[in-house]
Chains A and B, each alone.
Chain A
Amino acid sequence: MGSLFRSEEMTLAQLFLQSEAAYACVSELGELGLVQFRDLNPDVNAFQRKFVNEVRRCDEMERKLRFLEKEIRKAGIPIVDTGENPDAPPPREMIDLEATFEKLENEMKEVNTNQEALKRNFLELTELKHILRKTQSFFEEAEFHHQMQDPALAEESHALLLGDEERGGQPMRLGFVAGVINRERLPTFERMLWRACRGNVFLRQTEIETPLEDPVTGDQVHKCVFIIFFQGDQLKTRVKKICEGFRATLYPCPETPAERREMAIGVMTRIEDLQTVLNQTQDHRHRVLVSAAKNIRVWFIKARKIKAIYHTLNLFNLDVTQKCLIAECWCPVADLERIQLALRRGTEHSGSSVPSILNRMTTKQAPPTYHKTNKFTSGFQALVDSYGVASYCEVNPAPFTIITFPFLFAVMFGDAGHGLIMALFALWMVWREKQLMNQRKDDGIWSIFFGGRYIILLMGAFSIYTGFIYNDFFSKSLNIFGSSWHMANISDDDIKNNELLELDPNVTAIYKPASPYPFGIDPIWNLAENKITFLNSFKMKMSVTLGVIQMSFGVCLSLSNYRFFKDPLSMFSVFIPQLMFLMCIFGYMVIIIFFKWIAYDASISYKAPSLLITMINMFLFKFPDSQDDYMYSGQKGLQIFLVLVAVACVPCMLFIKPYFEWRAHKSGKRTVRFGTVQMQVNGASEDTAVIMDQDEGEMPPPPPEGAPAHKEEEEFDIGEILIHQAIHTIEFCLGCISHTASYLRLWALSLAHAQLSEVLWSMVLHIGLGFKGWVGAVVTILVFPAFAVLTVAILLVMEGLSAFLHALRLHWVEFQSKFYKGEGHQFVPFSFEALMEDHN
Chain B
Amino acid sequence: MFVICGPKLSICGFIISIWAIIMMGLMGVFFLIKSPLLLEDIGPATDDDWKDRKKIDAIFQQSAYNCWVVAGVYAFLGLFSYFQMRMNSRQQYVVT
* Contact pattern, A 695-733, Cβ under 8 Å of B = 1, otherwise 0: 000000000000000000000000000000000000000
Contact (A777, B20) CB under 8 Å given A496-B51, A527-B37, A766-B40? no
Question: Of A140-148, A193-201, A781-789, which binds chain B?
Answer: A781-789
User: B40 contacts A788, CB within 8 Å?
Assistant: no
Q: Which residues of B contact A774 (CB under 8 A)?
A: 66, 69
The minimal Cβ–Cβ distance linking A80 to chain B, given in whole angstroms, is 13
In the assembled complex, which residues on chain A have CB atoms less than 8 Å from the CB atom of B43? 769-773, 776
Contacts of B63 in A (CB 8 A): 769, 776
> B24: which A residues are within 8 A, CB to CB?
780, 784
A150 to chain B, nearest CB (A): 62
Write out the residue numbers on chain A whose beta carbons fall within 8 Å of the beta carbon of B62.
Answer: 773, 776
Q: Of A476, A523, A526, A777, which one neighbours B69 at CB under 8 angstroms?
A: A777
Within 8 A of A (CB), among B24-67: 24, 35-38, 40-44, 50-51, 62-63, 65-67
Q: B70: CB under 8 A from chain A?
A: yes
Nearest-Cβ distance from residue B77 to partner chain A, whole angstroms: 9
Cβ-based interface call for A561 (8 A):
no
* B3 in contact (CB, < 8 A): no
Instruction: Tell yes or no: A135 within 8 A of B by CB.
Output: no
B19 / chain A contacts, CB cutoff of 8 Å? 788
- Check if B16 is an interface residue, CB within 8 A of chain A: yes
Whether the pair A785, B70 counts as a contact (CB closer than 8 A) is: no
Q: A773-B62, A788-B16 are in contact. Are A766 and B41 (CB under 8 A)?
A: yes
Determine whether B73 belongs to the interface, using a CB cutoff of 8 Å to chain A: yes
B14 within 8 A of partner (CB): no
Write the chain A residue with the least CB distance to B53.
A492
CA distance A771 to B41 in the complex (A): 10
B74 adjacent to A784 (CB under 8 Å): yes
Q: Which of B35, B44, B73 contacts A781 (CB 8 A)?
A: B73
In the complex, which residues of chain A have a beta carbon less than 8 angstroms from the beta carbon of B41? 765-766, 769-770
- Residues of B near A772 (CB, < 8 A) are 43-44
**What's the nearest-Cβ distance from chain A to residue B42, in Å?**
7
Contact check, B20 vs A784: say whether CB atoms are below 8 A apart.
yes
The number of chain A residues touching the other chain, given as a range, is 20 to 34
Q: Closest CB-CB distance, B4 to chain A, in whole Å? A: 16
Name the CB-closest residue of A to B72.
A777
B63 to A, closest residue via Cβ: A769
- Find chain A residues with CB under 8 A from B38 CB: 476
Instruction: Looking at the assembled complex, report how far the CB atom of B47 sits from the nearest CB atom of chain A, in whole angstroms.
Output: 10
**Known pairs A770-B44, A771-B43; A477 contacts B66 (CB<8 A):** no
Cα A774 to Cα B40 in complex, Å, equals 18
For window 439-477 of A, CB contacts with B under 8 Å fall at: 474, 476-477
Number of interface residues of B (CB under 8 A): 26
List, in ascending order, chain A residues with CB within 8 A of B65's CB.
Answer: 777
Give CA–CA (A789, B19) in the complex, Å: 11
The CB with the most chain B CB atoms within 10 A, among A474, A477, A496, A777, is that of: A777
- Closest B residue to A474 by beta carbon equals B23
Please give the distance in Å from A467's CB to the nearest CB on chain B.
15
Interface string of A475-492 (1 = CB under 8 A from B): 011010000000000000
Which residue of chain A has its CB nearest to the CB of B15?
Answer: A788
CB pair B35–A769 under 8 Å, yes or no, is: no
Q: A residues 760-805 with Cβ under 8 Å of B?
A: 762, 765-766, 769-774, 776-777, 780-781, 784-785, 788-789
Closest to B42 in A: A769
Known contacts being A769-B63, A770-B44, A788-B20, is A777 close to B70, with CB within 8 Å? yes
Supposing A496-B51, A771-B44, A772-B44 touch, asked if A781 and B16 sit within 8 A by C-beta, the answer is no
Q: Which residues of B contact A496 (CB under 8 A)?
A: 50-51
Closest residue of chain A to B44 (Cβ to Cβ) is: A772
**B74 and A781 form a contact (CB under 8 A):** yes
B35 x A479 contact (CB < 8 A)? yes
* A788 to chain B: closest residue by CB: B16
Q: Interface 1/0s, chain A 378-395, versus B by CB < 8 A?
A: 000000000000000000
Q: How far is the CA of A780 from the CA of B64 in the complex (A)?
A: 12
- Beta-carbon contact of B16 and A769 below 8 Å: no
Interface string of A272-316 (1 = CB under 8 A from B): 000000000000000000000000000000000000000000000
Contact B66 A777 (CB under 8 A): yes
A776 with B66: CB separation less than 8 A: yes
B16 touches A785 (CB 8 A): yes
Q: How far is the CA of A414 from the CA of B91 in the complex (A)?
A: 42
Residues of chain A with a CB closer than 8 A to B69's CB: 774, 777, 781
A788 to B35, CA, bound (A): 23
Cβ of B34 to closest chain A Cβ, rounded Å = 12
Query: How many angstroms between the C-alpha atoms of A781 and B68 in the bound complex?
Result: 11
**Residue in A526, A770, A788 whose beta carbon sits within 8 Å of that of B37 in the complex:** A526
Residues of chain A within 8 A (CB-CB) of B66 are 769, 774, 776-777, 780
Residue of B nearest to A526 (CB): B37
A605 to chain B minimum Cβ distance, whole angstroms, is: 26
- Are A527 and B67 CB-contacts (below 8 A) given A766-B41, A769-B41, A776-B43? no
Which residue in chain A gives the minimum CB-CB distance to B73? A781
Contact A781 B70 (CB under 8 A): yes
Report A495-543 residues with CB < 8 Å from chain B CB. 496, 523, 526-527
A385 to B15, CA, bound (A): 36
Nearest Cβ distance between residue B9 and chain A, in whole angstroms? 12
Closest to B62 in A: A773
Question: With A and B bound together, what is the CA distance between A476 and B39 in angstroms?
Answer: 12
Residues of B within 8 A of A769 (CB): 41-43, 63, 66-67
Chain B residue at minimal CB-CB distance from A421: B19
Question: Which A residue's beta carbon lies closest to that of B35?
Answer: A479
Interface residues of A, Cβ cutoff 8 Å to B = 78, 474, 476-477, 479, 496, 523, 526-527, 762, 765-766, 769-774, 776-777, 780-781, 784-785, 788-789
Q: What are 24 A-B pairs at a CB distance below 8 A?
A: A477-B37, A479-B35, A479-B37, A523-B37, A526-B37, A527-B36, A527-B37, A765-B41, A769-B63, A771-B43, A771-B44, A772-B43, A773-B43, A777-B66, A777-B67, A777-B69, A777-B70, A780-B24, A780-B67, A781-B69, A784-B70, A788-B16, A788-B19, A789-B16
Nearest 7 pairs between A and B by C-beta? Answer: A777-B66, A777-B69, A776-B66, A780-B70, A769-B41, A788-B16, A772-B43
Beyond A527-B36, A776-B66, 6 additional pairs, beta carbon < 8 A: A526-B37, A769-B41, A777-B73, A781-B73, A784-B24, A788-B16
